[in-house]
Amino acid sequence: MTRTEPIVIPPVVVDALRNVMRQLVGDRDRLLDADADADADADARPQASGTSIPILLSAVQAGEVLGINETTVRQLWRDGDLKCVHIGRGRKVSTTEIQRYINDHEHFSPVP
């Protein structure tokens, strides 16, 4: 199944998604830095923030980030528009792939 018309995402939504992705990537980088510091110093213990940011997201989580239904995420997986990682019988999508999808599908139309 091929699409003939591009998906048009409003600039406000794109900006909001970019902010979410920056937050996800920033939190992940801080967690990775804390782990690296802990490995360098055996006595150092990273502080648990109470929340961890997943690098792989389920269809439900990806749908929430993209503002679409999980069924649509699964359809994007089936069509090959959104790449997924197979883990056991389940599928997940990386935050990097979500950002790629957004970048590839953002179109800004001039307002008449």
List, for residues 70-87, the tens digit of each pLDDT value: 999 999 999 999 999 999
Assess if residue 76 is contained within a domain: yes
pLDDT digits over 41-60, tens only?
Answer: 444 334 444 556 678 999 99
Range of the domain at 71: 11-105
Distance from C-alpha of 53 to C-alpha of 23, rounded to nearest angstrom: 9
H helix or E strand, kind and range, residue 31: helix 11-40
Assess if residue 82 is contained within a domain: yes
Please tell me the predicted confidence (pLDDT) of residue 98.
92
pTM above 0.85, yes or no: no
Assess if residue 91 is contained within a domain: yes
Band of pLDDT at residue 90, cut at 50, 70 and 90:
very high
Question: Domain count of the chain?
Answer: 1
